[in-house]
Amino acid sequence: MILVAYRHGLRVAELVNLKWSQVDLSQGILHVRRLKSGINSTHPISGVVSRALRKVQRMYPETDFVFVSERKSPLTDHTFRKILTRADSESGLNMSIHPHMLRHSTGFKLANDRVDTRTIQLYLGHSNIQNTVIYTQLASGAFHDLWHD
């Protein structure tokens, strides 16, 4: 769950509501349905995410939702927060991680990799680019290699 949320910049509600009908493992595509008037998009699924999703699918082959409880009901945002808290405590970072930090981490990672602002906007589903520029304003490597002496 953490990997999928981070790699695709999903909000917690988008993550817990993710359905297998949005995932095409044979084509390596994830159809992202954005909330909060966001822009829906289609993301490529990387090999590591594909393998993780296939493992989840083998565990619960007959569910509509990707992430489910042992009772095969969709996980709640509260449950995902517990998962993050546990991961935080096991990592030893003690950062009080919350789900939206994963989405922000995606934006900052893409900005630091010098992905253009418009691409980041569409990837995260921001309908207003002002919500995207916060990532590019703080990108540490933005000015590197502007001049070649």
Domains and CATH numbers, the chain: 2-99 (1.10.443.10)
- Residue 123: active-site member: no
Active site residue 135: yes
Q: Is 126 a catalytic residue?
A: yes
Q: Mean pLDDT, to the nearest integer, of 112-130?
A: 95
In the set 7, 8, 123, 135, the catalytic residue is: 135
| Annotated active-site residue in 36, 51, 54, 86 | 36
Tell me which residue has tokens 């009908």. 21
**Residues 135-149: pLDDT tens digits?**
988 656 667 777 777
- pLDDT tops 70 at residue 79: yes
Q: Residue 24 phi/psi, 5° resolution? A: -120, 90
Render pLDDT for 12-69 as a digit per residue (tens, 0 to 9).
999 999 999 999 999 999 999 999 999 999 999 999 999 999 999 999 999 999 999 9
Give the N- to C-terminal CA distance of the chain in Å, as an integer.
Answer: 46
Percent of the chain scoring above 70 in pLDDT: 97
- Name the strand (E) or helix (H) holding 59: helix 47-59
pLDDT for position 139: 59
Arithmetic mean of pLDDT, 101-115: 94
Catalytic residue among 7, 8, 11, 123: 11
Q: Average per-residue pLDDT in the chain? A: 93
Compute the average pLDDT of residues 87-102. 89
pLDDT over 80 (residue 97): yes
Indicate whether 82 pLDDT > 80. Answer: yes
pTM comes to: 0.89
Name which of 19-23, 43-47, 86-90, 116-120 the model is least confident about.
Answer: 86-90
Cα separations in angstroms, 47 against 43, 102, 120: 13, 20, 21
Q: How confident is the model at residue 96 (pLDDT cuts 50, 70, 90)?
A: confident
Identify the active-site residue in 19, 54, 100, 118: 100
Active site residue 100: yes
The one catalytic residue in 7, 8, 103, 123 is 103
